[in-house]
Amino acid sequence: MRQDIDQRKQFTRRALFLAGGQFLLVSGLVTRLYQLQVVDASDYEVLAEENRINVRLLPPLRGLIVDRFGEGMAINRRTYQLVLISEQTDSVPETLERIASLISLSERDVHDVLREVSRRSDFVSVTVREDLSWTDVTKIEVNLPALPGVLIETGQSRFYPYGELAAHLTGYVSAVSEVELTGERLLELPGFRTGKNGVEKVFELDLRGSAGTRHVEVNAYGHEIRELNRIEGDSGDDLRLTVDMGLQAFAARRLGEETGSVAVLDLLNGDVLALVSTPSFDPNAFNYGLSSEVWQGLLNDPRTPLINKPIAGQYPPGSTFKMIVALAALEHGVVTPDEDIYCPGFYELGNHTFGCWRHWGHGHVDMVEAHKVSCDVYFYEIAHRVGVDNIAEMASRFGLGMETGIELTGEESGLIPTKAWKEAVLGEGWLGGETVNAGIGQGHVLATPLQLGVMAARLGNGRVRVKPRLARSAASPAIPLFEPLRVNEEHLEVVRQGMYDVVNNPDGGTAFRARIEDEGMEMAGKTGTAQVRRMTAADREANRSLEEIPWNERDHALFVAYAPLQASRYACAVVVDHGGGGSTAAAPIARDVLREAQRRESVRWPMGEDIGDPLGQDV
């Protein structure tokens, strides 16, 4: 009896424990279900919806780049791409073989497609060829029934109508590099392009625009079923440059096969009217990638087509620097405009002899005459008197030895040496002979063609420190507020008279043959010939012709000018790499370009503006 009672008690306890355990399990399950279905229901609903609906980005249209008159320099055009969906084909290699029988398809193209197919899901499209011609499109369209899984898609691609003529200005776009990836989803879109050079890079964020979105329904395998919603993005802002592409094209044609630069500026407001660098390259070729052979060819070309020479080429300015030396000497009172200095054809300083380009000499010359005939001995002497630091200070007022701030990539600063510079950089003291060399724009002195154009603009303006600008909007001021030049007007008139005689005086003017004869279009300027290696006495005695000297050993030819003489508006600098003499190689180009600029009235602005008297401001 007692045994039966004990067994019943034991059974009851076990039943209670079992029931308690079941109750706890059921309670936990109910609690969890409540958590999932009630408390977290909204969160899981969103996750489920996102698993069913994908949000995909739509790339925006890139903003246009146009010249001052609205001519398209960088535009978007409709393009056709050939794509392939591998799951819809019987055999990808066989399909590619059929395509190759219809349009050009290289072994590299085939290899790239097979690689992409192996990396992606079968239902994802792979690009076979981009930028198809209309002829290629028609060939594919006619044969589409025999090409299952092959589609032609339309899109927008960057195009540069002027090609090489504006390549260094616009720059180009290309595929996004790993360095550029910042986490912005737009940059991760297949085929998205960003600016790599020129204004395409400087104004990248303005030109890029903002992405749109596209909501699509997909199944469990990621297949797109239908589009639910589309929100177009905002196109990038259009960019208007100050360049006159008609003048740009003329200047490039005038340079022809020469290696060199042309810079033309509005000397009142700094608008860059033309900025030419030759040789150039086709920016359209970078859009879809260059072959290694073409890229290496551009890199190894001794004429450096990838370098934007007007802003990145650094040259000894030669005799175009003499106006700066003259102004420094006049300001510090070490010479007067009427003082005669005798030129026997050479200048002696200590144990060194410095020759004049006219080895039999110029005789007695004053400052205006020294400019006209470009007498080296005269400028050796006044440079030695005034000193290199004073010359450097005057050069800085005219924009030399510093970046101009133009809205382009890759600008160099040039170099205007001082005693402190040499001590800090080379660890050596300054020598008197180096000042003499600097007096004719040689030695350590370096300038870019654009800097020389700015110098010419400030000489022609005479009142303010004009700065170049390449981008301009309707809201931009017609005449920006520039810093005052702070150079004595009488001293400037002496130098400008010398520049006038260089071009217009038949009695020894070094550029008289390159003068503008059209009435009212006349120019004032200065020739320059810059040595690329030290001339020895044997070199001078040999007196070889230009054709007998290797191209890379020939002197650079330079010319700076402004026009017209009355109410001057245009400034120009021309550098012909290894062109020989400035009067024969560079001055005729500047003459023709300045005449064309005036004929075209390149300074006109289509939106209309009243500049009034820009030099009437109190500066």
| Segment 280-338, tens digit of pLDDT | 999 998 887 777 888 899 999 999 999 999 999 999 999 999 999 999 999 999 999 99
Residues 592, 597, 601: CA angle, nearest 5 degrees: 150
Provide DSSP, 312-329. Answer: H--B--GGGGHHHHHHHH
pTM (2 d.p.): 0.84
Record the tokens describing residue 14, joined without a space.
């076990």
CB atoms within 10 A of CB 125: 18
Beta pairing partners, 152 = 82
Residues 6+ apart with CB under 8 A from 369: 362, 375, 498, 501, 508
Residues 6+ apart with CB under 8 A from 460: 267, 524, 562, 568, 571
- Would you place residue 362 in the very low, low, confident or very high pLDDT band (cuts 50, 70, 90)? very high
Looking at per-residue pLDDT, the higher value among 331 and 610 belongs to 331
How does pLDDT run across 445-492, given as a tens digit for each residue? 999 999 999 999 999 999 999 999 999 887 788 889 999 999 999 999
Do residues 401 and 415 lie in contact, with contact meaning Cβ atoms separated by under 8 Å?
yes
Question: What's residue 181's pLDDT?
Answer: 78
Alpha helices (H) in 229-375, listed in sequence order? 245-255, 292-300, 309-312, 322-331, 367-373
CB atoms within 10 A of CB 204: 17
The answer to whether residue 319 is catalytic is: yes
Question: What's residue 543's pLDDT?
Answer: 60
Cβ neighbourhood burial of 408 (10 Å; 0-12, 13-18, 19+): buried
- In 3D space, the residue among 559, 557, 564, 569 whose CA is nearest the CA of residue 590 turns out to be 559
Cis peptide before 279 (omega within 30 of 0): yes
Cβ neighbourhood burial of 5 (10 Å; 0-12, 13-18, 19+): exposed
What CA–CA distances, in Å, run from 416 to 175, 329, 401, 419?
39, 16, 5, 10
Strands 65-66 and 239-240: what pairing? parallel
CB atoms within 10 A of CB 171: 27
- The CA distance from 157 to 437, in Å, is 52
- Would you place residue 106 in the very low, low, confident or very high pLDDT band (cuts 50, 70, 90)? confident
Do residues 529 and 357 lie in contact, with contact meaning Cβ atoms separated by under 8 Å?
yes
- Would you place residue 133 in the very low, low, confident or very high pLDDT band (cuts 50, 70, 90)? confident
- The CA distance from 328 to 387, in Å, is 9
Q: Annotated catalytic residue: which of 319, 374, 568, 583?
A: 319
Residues 213, 219, 220: CA angle, nearest 5 degrees: 120
The rounded mean pLDDT for the chain is 87
Beta pairing partners, 79 = 155
- Helix, strand, or coil (residue 168): helix
- Would you place residue 130 in the very low, low, confident or very high pLDDT band (cuts 50, 70, 90)? confident
- Helix, strand, or coil (residue 456): helix
Q: Which of 4-13, 228-237, 268-277 has the highest mean pLDDT?
A: 268-277
Record the tokens describing residue 404, joined without a space.
């101009």
Give the least confident one: 17-31, 53-67, 205-219.
17-31
Record the tokens describing residue 267, joined without a space.
């000397």
Query: Which residue segments constitute the domains of the chain, with CATH numbers given?
Result: 59-240 (3.90.1310.10), 245-607 (3.40.710.10)
How does pLDDT run across 147-186, given as a tens digit for each residue? 888 888 787 889 999 999 999 999 999 888 878 877 787 7
- The CA distance from 553 to 546, in Å, is 10
